[in-house]
Amino acid sequence: MNLTDQLTQYILSGLSTGAIYALIGLGFAIIYNSTGIINFAQGEFVMFGGMLGVYFFHKQGLALPIAFLLAVVVTALCGVIFERFAIRPLRRPTPMNMVIITIGGSIFLRGVAMIAWGKDTHVLPTFSGDEPISFAGATLLPQHLWIFAITILLIIGTKLFFSHTISGKAMSACAVNRRAAGLVGIDVRRMIMFSFILSSAIGAMAGIIIAPLTMTSYDVGVMLGLKGFCAAIIGGMSSGLPTVIGGLLLGVLESLGAGFSSGYKDAVAFVILLLILFFRPQGLFSRGSSERV
């Protein structure tokens, strides 16, 4: 086993974890752009996706695709309820209020999951078998291909949605200037709710596609949420390619970090986060403030 093979393995492993971070980061960015809120409950939506997937598949005995779909729908519904009852009632929200509310919401959602499904770790079966696939001296599981495929589809999907549909454009408008968007007749509230639906659904999908590999339990959302947040920060909170690249970058650096000196894996993510917040708060890829959607 030579060094190049090891390196390929580190990078491939990193990309597959990074793809997940990218999806979660995208969820952060979408809500941030339409509401200006950093939704710290995003990680909990990911957890809900995974846990609901487990619930529908194991407890209700549904087929995996149906369980997948139901889990996404129910999580999106949770997103709506969360927006309706935790975010909207605030008349004049300050960023601090919002941060505290979403953190409180995340603790609440975690508690609900713990009471509903217990403290155990659960697992879903892989979507198509466990036979490793060799690729340039490294190995992957079919599930990794699923992760890549779904991530790419979702990214293309959101891109198309924002640039080619009326709703998407309306959401972009809210991001640029909420008041002006309201003045031209865009229902800002509906757009905010839309953004919650979108990002909780994306989060749920991320939660389900990784559950066969990484397992899921009521408290997986914390770490995943932070990593996704980190990806979004690297990408300058853009709900497009920069956040995706941020996620992939983070995943690869973590994997390399763990490969060369394990124990510093999480430190890698947080050191990057801090450095970027210090030196390039607008993100790695943008120049000054620019359009973010």
- Tokens for 172? 């972009």
Residue 32 CB, shortest distance to another protein, in Å, is 25
How does DSSP classify residue 122?
A: B
Contact code string over 103-122 relative to another protein, x by CB under 8 A: ----------------xxxx
Residue 119 CB, shortest distance to another protein, in Å, is 5
- Tokens for 251? 């995943």
Q: Which stretch binds another protein (CB under 8 A): 40-48, 99-107, 152-160, 211-219?
A: 211-219
Alpha carbon distances (Å) from 229 to 38, 221, 277: 9, 12, 12
Hey, what amino acid is at 50? G
Site for another protein in 260-279 (CB under 8 A): 262-263, 265-266
Using the minimum distance from each CB to another protein, give the nearer residue, 57 or 162.
57
Residue found by looking up tokens 């229902």 in the block: 187
Q: Does residue 199 interact with another protein by CB under 8 A?
A: no
d(CA 118, CA 218): 8
Residue 199 CB, shortest distance to another protein, in Å, is 21
Q: Does residue 141 interact with another protein by CB under 8 A?
A: yes
Residue 237 CB, shortest distance to another protein, in Å, is 24
d(CA 111, CA 160): 36
Strands, E assignment, 114-224: 133-135, 138-140
Residue 144 CB, shortest distance to another protein, in Å, is 9
Alpha carbon distances (Å) from 214 to 47, 97, 174, 219, 276: 12, 33, 36, 13, 28
Site for another protein in 3-62 (CB under 8 A): 3, 5-6, 9-10, 13-14, 16-17
Q: Does residue 148 interact with another protein by CB under 8 A?
A: no
d(CA 25, CA 37): 13
Residue 203 CB, shortest distance to another protein, in Å, is 16
- Tokens for 111? 């508690």
Q: Does residue 255 interact with another protein by CB under 8 A?
A: yes
Query: Which one of residues 33, 172, 217, 239 is an interface residue with another protein (CB under 8 A)?
Result: 217
Burial class (CB in 10 A: 0-12, 13-18, 19+), 159: middle
Q: Does residue 64 interact with another protein by CB under 8 A?
A: no
Using the minimum distance from each CB to another protein, give the nearer residue, 34 or 216.
216
Pairing of strands 138-140, 133-135: antiparallel
Bridge partners for 122 per DSSP: 216
Binding site residues, another protein, CB under 8 A = 1-3, 5-6, 9-10, 13-14, 16-17, 119-123, 125, 130, 132, 134, 139-141, 210, 213-215, 217, 220, 223, 255-259, 262-263, 265-266
